[in-house]
Chain A
Amino acid sequence: MNEFKLKLLSKTGNESFARSCVSAFCLELNPTLEEINDVKTAVSEAVTNCIVHAYNSQEGKYIDLSVRIENGKVEIIIEDEGCGIDDVEKAIQPFYTTKPDQERSGMGFTLIKTFMDKVDIISQKDKGTKVIMQKEFKKE
């Protein structure tokens, strides 16, 4: 078992740092390039959601990342204390976005679900959102 935790400012540009950290941490599981890219994309989407949606691009807020590796599986938890999601079922629909004026594609959760094995979204209005995702790396 191995684990790391990271507290990150809700700053544009930190998506790149977050996905690099998580993917580097997963290297001990000998993932394929494709699996690493899957994890990178899912982390990038979830952290971007925190910055753009949860905190409405307001800097100075924090995003918590917790990554745990066990039995060839990675569990990534990305949590914010932002505005929360009104309707999670709606939010995960492809092309649904609350910010069409900002050219948001509405594909974030769709890609997370495509690339990870299991995704849970727990959200409370004005309290925050927690995205828990898991992926198992295939053995050669």
Chain B
Amino acid sequence: MRLELTNNANCAVAKLDGELDEGCVKEVREKIDKFIAGNHFGQFIFDFSGVSFMDSTGIGMLLGRYKNLKQLGVPIYISNARGHVDFILSTAGIYTIMRKIS
């Protein structure tokens, strides 16, 4: 799993590439939390366009970031989740707390 974090014009983007599972979730979580602590932004986007596989471990990671960012008043958006990943996000109800954008 590759993770690229950028912060431009008040908008933070976490671009994930590869397979999101138990094997990499700890590192992803830590990198994102460190980035959140060290940056200022008004919205946060998870770019899922490069995620080829995800299981419920990814849902746990998203819910955890949601809790942290909600306290800061920062809305989260999810962009470009593909087929199976999109279905899992929707089944777990993620789109009811993070808006889907393309």
The smallest beta-carbon distance between A31 and chain B, in angstroms, is: 13
Expressed in whole angstroms, the Cα–Cα distance for A110 and B56 within the complex equals: 9
Instruction: Select which of B19, B53, B83, B92 is within 8 A of A105 by beta carbon.
Output: B92
- Secondary structure at the B interface, as helix, strand, loop or mixed, is helix
CB-CB under 8 A from A41, the residues of chain B are 53, 55, 84, 88
Nearest CB to that of A102 among chain B residues? B60
Expressed in whole angstroms, the Cα–Cα distance for A16 and B19 within the complex equals: 9
Interface size range of chain B in the complex: 10 to 19
CB-CB under 8 A from A107, the residues of chain B are 56, 59, 91-92
CB-CB under 8 A from B19, the residues of chain A are 16
The smallest beta-carbon distance between A59 and chain B, in angstroms, is: 13
Nearest CB to that of B57 among chain A residues? A48
Docked-complex contact B23 and A13, CB < 8 angstroms: yes
The answer, yes or no, to whether A114 is at the interface (CB within 8 Å) is: yes
Cβ contacts B39-80/A at 8 Å (1 or 0 each)? 000000000000001011101110110000000000000000
A-B interface pairs (CB < 8 A), number: 64
Docked-complex contact A52 and B83, CB < 8 angstroms: no
The answer, yes or no, to whether A104 is at the interface (CB within 8 Å) is: yes
Expressed in whole angstroms, the Cα–Cα distance for A15 and B19 within the complex equals: 11
Cβ contacts A28-41/B at 8 Å (1 or 0 each)? 00000110011011
The answer, yes or no, to whether A82 is at the interface (CB within 8 Å) is: no
The smallest beta-carbon distance between B84 and chain A, in angstroms, is: 4
The smallest beta-carbon distance between A44 and chain B, in angstroms, is: 4
* Contacts from A to B (Cβ < 8 Å): 12-13, 15-16, 19, 33-34, 37-38, 40-41, 44-45, 48, 51-52, 102-108, 110-111, 114
